[in-house]
Amino acid sequence: MKIKLWGVRGSIPSPLTQAEYSRRLKEIVDRAIATGLTREGVDDFLTSLTPDLRYIYGGNTTCIEVQPRPGVHLIVDAGTGIVALGDELMKGPCGKGEGELYLFFTHTHWDHIQGLPFFKPLYVPGNRITFIATVPDLEDRLITQMQPLFFPMPFHQTLSQKKFHTLGQDSFSCEGLTITTFELRHPGGSTAYRFLENQKSFIFATDAEFTGTDIESRSPYDDFFSAADVLLMDAQYTLDDHFNKFDWGHTSQTMAVNCAVKWKVKNLILTHHEPSYPDDRLYQNYMAAIEHRQNLGVRDLNIYLGREGMQIALE
């Protein structure tokens, strides 16, 4: 099973600003001057940069791809990250009208559906797309998004073949993966997905608000999240910002670490980044998460900061 992140921002897209680009460029040039950089050392210099300078974490809203094997595509959420994924898929069977896709939704808040009207495989006749969610009216919601008042092409006038499947509480089998769901605390609701293959588990849990009471004693979350190999989890806020945004339905990076420790998760990836945080702030948050893990005395939890293009393999 392979996972790729196509969009990691929450709420609204947040492209790199000119001010942030200029700040980053100046810092890179300053470091280059300080090290006496020569043309021959460029590659090594770039590799040595801290992640906040080496990477762009990305400004697209939520979309991830799960591949149990090459050519099989399970997509979760259709934020603006799905646009680039669609462009990539068009290079293969989807560009010929021979694609088969599974599109899962955690929920239908704007930042999780806003890329769908621009998802090119949706428009190609012959492509087969199964839309999957825990809400029974998903089709109506997607139709509403693409009404003429909001978009020039109605949903059902796109030419792909469409099916809808509503998930219950039982596990669901799809392309060799066993998939289970868990309802999360978020205004309007949100669904976590657990993908299991060959005893390896990947959980995507975004748009969820976890607090200390959720981890103080045994809770309904424990069985679902227990011992996940990879947990991709909402960590939108700093702890201070979260204090001012209770009931907004998101989690701080500190609480995300607390949850991962409680559930004995092996690898935690922080995602659904606050759109007002520039990349250097995201990196500071990541380092704060690392420090918090160390203060807890935990050594067997790996923590990563989600970024567009990141790929994870579970084998």
The two three-digit tokens of residue 240, written as one number: 């201070």
**What is d(CA 108, CA 145) in angstroms, rounded to the nearest whole number?**
10
Q: What is the pLDDT of residues 236-253, one digit of tens each?
A: 998 777 767 777 788 999
**pTM score:** 0.95
Q: Which of 186, 194, 174 is nearest to 263 (CA)?
A: 194
Q: How confident is the model at residue 171 (pLDDT cuts 50, 70, 90)?
A: confident
Phi, psi of 254 (to 5 degrees): -65, -45
**What is d(CA 257, CA 264) in angstroms, rounded to the nearest whole number?**
10
Q: How confident is the model at residue 213 (pLDDT cuts 50, 70, 90)?
A: confident
Residues 6+ apart with CB under 8 A from 12: 61, 111, 275
Q: What percent of the chain has pLDDT over 90?
A: 89
Residue 217 has pLDDT above 80, yes or no: no
Q: Could you report how far apart the first and last alpha carbons of the chain are, in Å?
A: 6
Q: What is the pLDDT of residues 127-138, one digit of tens each?
A: 999 999 999 999
Domains and CATH numbers, the chain: 2-12+57-313 (3.60.15.10), 18-54 (no CATH)
**What is d(CA 235, CA 5) in angstroms, rounded to the nearest whole number?**
15
Q: What is the mean pLDDT of the chain?
A: 95
pLDDT at 194: 98
Biggest CA–CA distance in the chain, Å, is 62
The two three-digit tokens of residue 213, written as one number: 């009471």
Q: What is the pLDDT of residues 18-50, one digit of tens each?
A: 999 999 999 999 999 999 999 999 999 999 999
Q: How confident is the model at residue 215 (pLDDT cuts 50, 70, 90)?
A: confident
pLDDT at 243: 65
What's the CA dihedral at 254, 258, 259, 262 to 10 degrees?
170
Give the DSSP letter string of 61-87.
Answer: BPEEEEESSTT-EEEE--STHHHHHHH
| Sequence letter at residue 244 | N
Q: Which residues are registered as beta bridge partners of 182?
A: 192
Residues 6+ apart with CB under 8 A from 140: none
